[in-house]
Each structure stands twice: as structure tokens, then as C-alpha cells.
A and B are shown apart, each in its own frame.
Chain A
Amino acid sequence: MNMKTGPEDTALDDPKRFTASRQVLAVDWFMTVFIRLGGVGVIVTVVGIFFFILSQVVPLFQGANVDEVSRGEAPSLPQGNYIGLATDEWSELPLVVREDGRVYFIDLRGQRGVVEKAPEWLQGGKVSAIEIDHGAQVIAMGTDGGKIHLIRFEYEPEFVDEVRTVKESLSEEYQGMVEAGKPVKLIAMGQSERVRVIGTVSGEGGSQSLEVKILKRKRSLMGVGKWKEVEQGDLSGELPAADKIQKILVSNRGDALIVVADSGRVSYFFRGDEGFKIRQHFAPFEDMPGRKIITTGFLLGDVSLVFVADDGSNRVFSLFRSEADPVRKFYHTKTLKSLGAAADYYASSSRNKAFLLGAGKHASLRFSTSEEIRWSEDLPWKVQLGAISGKYDALLFLDDAGRLHKYQLDDPHPEAGLKAFFGKVWYEGAPEPKYEWQSTGGSDDFEPKFSLVPLIFGSVKGTCYAMLFAVPIALFGALYTSEFLHPRHKIFIKPVMEIMASLPSVVLGFMAALWLAPLIEDKVPSLLLVMIFVPAGAFALGWLWGSRPMYIRKWIPQGLEFLYFMPVLIALGWLGWILGPHLEQVIFTVTDPQTGKSVGDFSQWWPKVTGTSFQQRNSMVVGFMMGFTVIPIVFTIAEDALSNVPAALRSGSLAMGASRWQTAWRIVLPTASAGIFSALMVGLGRAVGETMIVVMATGNTPIMEWNIFSGMRTLSANIAVELPEAPHHSTLYRTLFLGAFVLFLLTFLVNTIAELLRQHLRERYKTV
């Protein structure tokens, strides 16, 4: 093929013109690799964030990890029958009590072995009843000689070269006698700051007597005085004599005495101003004929009772005021899995609502709130006594051969779990199970409540109100701008929207809380009227104008109608604003309780009529302000999508004799539907994730009601509010991550569904 026509063409006939130059190939290769790397980088980052959050969340759902601490040979105790086990805060120096009243401290660090404390107060008697109160650090003993001893055990940490050693000490705090000197069968003790209540059961069979002693101590400048018996009483008369008492308990405030009888009946005495009075009788296993209660114990806080029946059935009863009964009583709240056999020992945690049960070799660590078994195992030996350490980080077991075993307990988040986060939970003191978020409380035995449901609800609620306000305005605005507004005026819209979008949400939230909320608090009827008048006016004007003949309509150029109608609409809005208070006087009236006169007040009328609250910082304020941030986003994307509809379609429709509105509604809107959908989704994403406005403009109360005049707490606001309070790696900390994770999943889910729908729409309305 000779294309040469002459020698002057040789410069153009450069043979290289058919080869791609090396530079082009290099740039091409580089860009390919670069873009690919970038893409992979983005994916890796997103997946990385996902896994990081996941790694923070996973421990919440793990059970307890329990391992024996091996220290070679366990120090073995002298022969004998051991009846009590208690431990110090670090579970380094637990103590056991032998039947003869001797107390043995066992140094688990292996330095001092077993230390015996032979008490001088117990002269030859035999301990026939014992209770150890960890909180008060008191061992209450009753002897077969009818004596009562309260012995205080104390642990004193000493730091030598930053190494901690624990020093133990024992002292007798009180000594007393039961009424007739009969052998003490059962003893229970509870104490508050000033009052200590001791309950005893003494005597045999028919002649058992139930006594209570109330001790008090004085506080003076010299310090606290000694405990003195101030009162004592016999409650035997309150109970059927034939029913053998099997267990008694006194609550830590000393205001409740629980008596469990062999018949399966539980009696609850309440101490009021006139001493103990019977308040309630109940039978925990009423519905299971023939079941006897074997074990009874308080949970931390002493408002819940754990019962185990002789077949291992395990129930929890809690004290609360039911709707029907204003007096606090015990009601069945929880049922845990059966232990399988009668429990031999019971120990509760002083950190949380966990308790330890065991039958023979089987041990089971349970959590009352979640009704879950945190850990269970068949141990190699029969257990005599068990205890949970004060820090909830160790389990102690005394086997029947007199050896003490220490188990490391690793269960940082016993209160967590799917049910706690997403299910209705029956918390102590509540009359029914519910979704509740409350991470911190006043008292030590406060139980954090971690239901994410109110937060998810709050997010949905806030988003809904914001979208409800923003979407119509943004979409109709975009439709108007792209289809009806004169191009000359379009250029003003974009910058205005950009300014709107660039306002920091802190500023908006600040404005919402301090300016908008107080402003509209007493202007609800006015707002209501404005929201009716302006759109209705716009529709009416549009209809009126559209149905005028051309010789009238020609006086206003197409696309400029809004300039002429705006004053009318503003006047209508103003009218609504002015008429609002009058409307309030007519419709939203309540009778003033003081004067008996009828006054117009929406903020009182609303709670009266709907039964829901009216708050100043409410969802309406959030809706307005969050809508304000959503509008520019939705508007811009939707406007782009509408403007990108090919002009050929528009002219095709108009050429068919369609009006501009028909063209916009029937052709442009459906064709742009995919883009409009994206706009809505991006707006939704913005609203769901919005934090500052919600934090500032609502009361952040995690309630679950759709009421527009109350606030909400969203997932994102929750993170912002709680994070400063959350200790590193605590349950709260991880729960906040879980909240973030749920938010992540929520947006992921919404985005995925949206993307699928969008693809579908795009496929359907794709243009040539």
C-alpha cells in the first residue's frame, strides 16, 4: 500500500503514527493502577472501620470466661464442717467459718498459708446458724446455746514497695441472746447507716419462735458508738405455728424481713414506724404443686428475691408498685432455666445482678436481668460453699474435702446481650417489661438500662419529622425551579441553597434551642394556620390563574408568576400568624384551675386532650431545623436530576399539547425519579446521622412516642451525649459502639434498598 503521493508528505507519514507512544502507555498504566489502588483503598478503609466497630461490639455478646487459677496444691484446711465463706475485695485472703466458730483466713497468694483465728468469744458453743453480710462485713452467728454474735471482719491493704499485702482482723461488734435461750436455727441480718436488724428463728418444730432485734448506734464527735439493742419483738404469732420456717432474710436497709416456710409460702414483713408488720404472703411455686423452696436469696439491692425449688426451678421475684396496688409487693418477674437439682449453695454478686448456684458438682453463674446463664460447668469435686468476689472477677469454691479453689471470672459485660439491647426487659422496680435506656443512675446498686430500641425509635422519629417538613418543600422547590422558573432567576437559587447547606449544624441547633423553640412555644396555633393558609393559598392562586384566559394571563410573563404571587402568599402567612391567638382562644381552651375561667392555651390543651406531654424543645423544632439542613441537599440533587432530563422529552411532550405542569408531572418527574430517589436517600442519610441539632434542640429523653410536641434521643445524639461519661471498654462504651454499628447497619440497609430501587427506576426510566 503506497500512500505516498510526493516527497513533501514524508513528515506526515511518520511510521510512528500507528504506534502508541511509550508515554501514553505509561500514563495509562499508571492511572489504571492508581485508580485501582484508590478504589481498593476505599473499600479496605470502609471494611476496616466496619471490623473495628465490630471488634468493639463483639465482647458484649460473649459469655463469661471462667478458669481455675492454678497455684499448685490448694492449701487444705483442717478437718471439720465449714459453714461460711467470705472473701476480700481482691479475693486474695478469703475466710471460711467452721462449725465450731473458728475462722480461717486462706492466703491465696501462697505466702502465709492458712491463718487460724480462734475466737475467745465462742466458749465451746457450736454455731448452728450463720449469715455473712459482705456489704457490712459482718458474720452473724447463732449458737445452739441461744447466743447471737456479730463479728466484723476487716481487710486492710498495705502497700510495701508498691506491692499490696492484705491484713486481716476480726472483732466482735455485738453479743446477744434469743428470748428463751433456745438453739438458734436461722439467723439473718441487714444494716443501714444507723440501724441494724437481726432476725432469728430458734427452737424446734412447734415451738419455733421468730424474733427480731433492732440495734442502733449513735454518732458523735468522737466517731461512731457501739451498736446497742433498742428494740426487740417476737413475730411468731403472725405465722402458722405448724409451718416450719426454712429460711429468713433481712434486707440491707433493714426494712424487710422475708420468711420462707417449708410449705412453700413466703411472708414479707415490712418495718414501718410501728415495727415489722406483715405485708404480703405469696408462694413462688404456687403453680407447681408439691414443690418446696430450697434456696432463697437477695440479689444486689435487696429488692429481688431468687428462689430455687427442690427440682432446680429458678425464679426471681421483684418488689414494685403495681398499677392496681399502691403498696410495694413482690411479684414474679423472671424465670431462669432450671438448675436440674436442688441447689446446695447460693451466692450473689455485690457488683451486679449475677448469682451463683450449685448442686453437687454442677455450678451455674446466672444473671437475673437477662435471665441468662453466664457460665455453667461440672466441677471435678463436690462443692460445699461458693462465693463471688466483690469485684465480680473471681469465683471461690470450697469443696467437700476442705480445699478452697479460686476461679478467675472474666465476664465484663454480663448485663449485655441481644435481649438487653433489642428486647423488652423487666428491670427491678418496674411494673412491666419495657424498652428503656438509662445508662447512669444515682445509687450504687443502680442497674444500667441499655435498650437501643428507644434510640432507634428516636432516630426514626427525628428523621421522619425532618423529612416530613423538608421533602415537600425541597421537591416542589426543585420541580418549580427546573420546570417553571425563568432561567434568569435560576442562577440565584443555587448560591442561596449553598449558603443554606453550609450553615454549621451547631449554629442551627443553637438557634433551634435558644431562639426557635421559645419563639414557637406559644405560637403553635399561628404556625398551624400559616401551614394551612400558605399551601392552600398557593394552590388556589395557581388554579385561579391557570384557568384565566390567555388575554389575562399574558400580562405576567411565564416563569415570573411567583414575583406577583409572593406578596399575596406572604400576606396570607401573616394573616395566619395574626389569627393564631384568636383560634387558640376559640378551640384550644382549658379551664384554669385557679380562676375556673376558660383560657386559650395550646401547651395545656394538648396534654389534656391527647394525654401526651408538651415540651418546649420538641420534635417540631427539630423537624424544622433538621429540615433546614436537609432541604438544600435534597433540593440540589433533585434539581440536578430534573434538569438533566433531556430537553427532547420535554419538547416532545409540549409538542403533543401537554401543559407545562402535565409535562413536569407525567414526563419529567418519572424520568428523573431515580435521581430524585437518590436525593431523598442522601437527605435521609443526613437526617439520620444529624447529631448537633438533636442534641441541642431536644431534651434528649429516650422516650418512645410519636407525639410531635415531645423530644426524642437519637442514636447519634446518644453517642455524643454519653461518650464523655463512658469509661474505656465499659459496657456503656461498647454499647455506644453498638449504637454506632446499628446506625451503620441502618444506613447500609437503607442505602442498599434505595440503591436497588434506584437501579430499578433507572432501568425503567432510562432515556435514549
Chain B
Amino acid sequence: MNLAKLEPIAMQKENVESLSNTASLSSALLERKNQAPGRPDYIKVSNFSFNYVPAVRVLHNITMDIPEKQVTAFIGPSGCGKTTLLRNFNRMNDLIDGVSQEGKIYVNDQDIYDRDLEVISLRKRIGMVFQKSNPFPKSIYENVVYSLRVSGQKNKEVLDEVAEKSLRSAALWDETKDRLQDSALGLSGGQMQRLCIARAIANRPEILLMDEPCSALDPIATAKIEELISELKQSFTVVIVTHNMQQATRVSDRAAYFYLGKLIEMDDTTQLFSNPSQKETEDYISGRFG
């Protein structure tokens, strides 16, 4: 998989553009490919706290900057709030009744909890791969092109093209090219996960949130996904949650370590893994945790 393979999608620029509700942002999306790394505080979290139920705080005063066009890894023990934070970036936690939050999150200087913000266009800019794969009970093809369909794309050629590119990127094309119209639920667990990745990148979002995308994958598929992530960061901002330290070191530029809902440390990945400034971080990455 190399960049040349992604070119055709880039050439579909007008199409992709027309799909997005926020034309100003998406038009920039593909042009930035070979530019210098973007701003360091593309996603800005400031003093953010989060409760699922009143009085039980899950995230405590998180403040962090996630740089544009880089891969940021969230690591930390189970239950420490990685998923919770990730889901706040595209306001998926709105769906849960009774949640409350304090502090602010900005995406490209836009306060995402601003009441004037149209949450649908925010979500269109942010792709998400969930921790548990959740393919729709539709065909493989329809799963992949879902985001284009809801944006009103009807051109069959565009859809076909996007479906193929996305599946190729997610290392699923070879296995599914002959059964695109079969139900997605007939796929294996790992295939489903890759399908969800293909689905998330289909309309080329600006930010890709990946919650343990490789937890159900074998080493070969994992390698492909990691390769994909490295490619994606050329144009997208990627946030990945992982329990796999090697993976974090392989793919990410920056890493953040969470513990019990607190951000313990955030640094360049090499720095964090080779020379953590906090004792907890060191214990965790060296496997002495718990």
C-alpha cells in the first residue's frame, strides 16, 4: 500500500467536497497533504471533566493539546476513561442520558459544546472506529458507503470508487471484493473491525478516532492497519486508543497516559516510552502496573 493508491481518491476532490457540510474545512483537507505539520493544538482540551452519573466523576480536569496531522495514542489501564474522552470529541456522549461535563474542548478553535454548533457537521468531520465493532445489518458495500449515502451522494461511480478505496485501505478488499452485496454480519470478528475502519474513513474525515482498532485483529491485519494509520496521518489527525505498547510506539507521534480518569502524562511517544517523567507511567509501560 503506498500513497499512489490513494491518489484517485484525492482526485475525487470535488465529490468529497460536495459531500461535506463544512466546505471550508474539507477543501483544505486534501491540499494539506504535503504541507508542514499543522497546528499543535488542533484539538484542544482544557480543564475538561466528565460525569456519567451525577457525583461520579470519570474524567478529572483534563487539559491536553492534540496536534494536527499526527497520531496521538491514549494509553492507560482499563476503565481509566480513554474511551470516554474519545467519545467526547465527536459528542457521542450526548446520546447517554444524565451525563454532564465541565471545561471546554475545541476542535480547530471551534468550541464543540457551543449550543450553536450543528453536531451533525461536527461528526461528519470526525470519523470514529468503536471499541466493539458495530457493522450495520446491511451489505458490506452499504456499510462502507453509509456516510456518503446519508450525505446524499447518489452517483454510483463515486460510491463504487470510494467503497473500493476504503476497503483497500482497511486491508479488506481482497477478502470481500466478490461478496460486496453479502451481509456484513457474515464477516469474521476481525473482518468486521476492518469494515468499521473502512466505513470510518470512507468520507475522508479530518479527524479519525480509533478505539482499540486492532484488538480483534491478527498480526498481519494489524500491520496493515498500522500502515494505514501512518498513511492517514499525512492528511488526517488520528487519535488512537490502544492497550498494545508496541503498537503505540510504532504508530504514534504523541502519547498520553491516563490513570483513574486523570491525564498523568503526555509527551512525544519516544520520550514518554523511553523516559517517562512520572513514576506511574513508568510502572505502567514497563508492565509493573497493578
Please list the residues of chain A having a beta carbon within 8 angstroms of any beta carbon in chain B.
487, 549-551, 554, 646-659, 662, 666-667, 670-671, 764-768
Binds A, one of B144-152, B170-178, B238-246, B276-284: B144-152
> Which of B123, B136, B149 makes the CB contact (< 8 A) with A649?
B136
- Complex contact A656–B137 (CB within 8 A): no
Q: Mark B96-133, 1 if CB is under 8 A from A, else 0.
A: 01000000000000000001111011011011101011
Provide a sorted-by-A list of 10 A–B residue pairs whose CB atoms are within 8 angstroms.
A646-B134, A649-B137, A650-B95, A651-B130, A652-B130, A655-B126, A655-B130, A656-B199, A657-B123, A768-B134
Q: Is the CB of A667 within 8 A of B136?
A: yes
Shortest Cβ gap from A669 to chain B (Å) = 11
Given contacts A550-B116, A647-B95, contact A656 B150 (CB under 8 A): yes
Other-chain residue from B95, B123, B185 in contact with A768 (beta carbon distance below 8 A): B185
B183 within 8 A of A: yes
The answer for the CA separation of A104 and B134 in the assembled complex, in Å, is 97
A486 to chain B, nearest CB (A): 8
Number of interface residues of B (CB under 8 A): 36
Chain B 204-221 interface 0/1 with A at a Cβ cutoff of 8 Å (1 = within) = 000000000000000000
Residues A655 and B128 in contact in the complex (CB < 8 Å), given A550-B118, A551-B116, A766-B185:
yes
Q: Which residue of A lies closest to B125 (CB)?
A: A657
Inter-chain contact A487/B124, CB cutoff 8 Å: no
* B135 in the interface (beta carbon within 8 A): yes
Contact (A654, B151) CB under 8 Å given A550-B117, A768-B135 = no
B25 within 8 A of A: no
Nearest B residue to A647 via CB reads B95
Neighbour of A554 across the interface among B90, B116, B199, CB < 8 A: B116
Q: Is the CB of B137 within 8 A of A764?
A: yes
Asked whether, in the complex, the Cβ of A649 is within 8 Å of the Cβ of B134, the reply is: yes
Chain B residues, CB < 8 A from A671: 136-137
- Interface pair A655/B92, CB less than 8 Å apart: yes
CA gap between A219 and B207 in the complex, in Å = 110
Closest Cβ of chain B to A665, distance in Å, is 10
Given contacts A647-B95, A768-B192, A657 and B137 within 8 Å (CB-CB): no
Q: Is the CB of B130 within 8 A of A648?
A: yes
Contacts of A549 in B (CB 8 A): 118
**A765 contact from B116, B137, B199, B200, Cβ within 8 A:** B137
Q: A656-B127, A764-B183 are in contact. List 20 more A-B contacts (CB 8 A).
A: A550-B115, A551-B115, A648-B134, A649-B136, A649-B137, A651-B130, A651-B134, A652-B134, A655-B126, A656-B147, A656-B199, A657-B21, A657-B151, A658-B147, A659-B120, A666-B149, A671-B137, A764-B137, A766-B185, A768-B135
Given A487-B97, A551-B116, A554-B116, are A652 and B147 neighbors across the interface (CB < 8 Å)?
Answer: no
Residues from chain A with Cβ under 8 Å of B149 in the complex: 666
* B19 CB, min distance to chain A CBs, angstroms: 9
> Which A residue's beta carbon lies closest to that of B93?
A651
A648-B130, A764-B183, A768-B192 are contacts. A655–B118 as well, Cβ < 8 Å?
A: no
Q: Which residues from A are CB-within-8-Å of B121?
A: 657
Q: Report A661 CB to chain B, min CB distance, Å.
A: 10
A767 to B133, CA, bound (A): 11
Minimum CB–CB distance from A186 to chain B (whole Å) comes to 85
> What is the bound-complex CA distance between A657 and B199, given in angstroms?
12
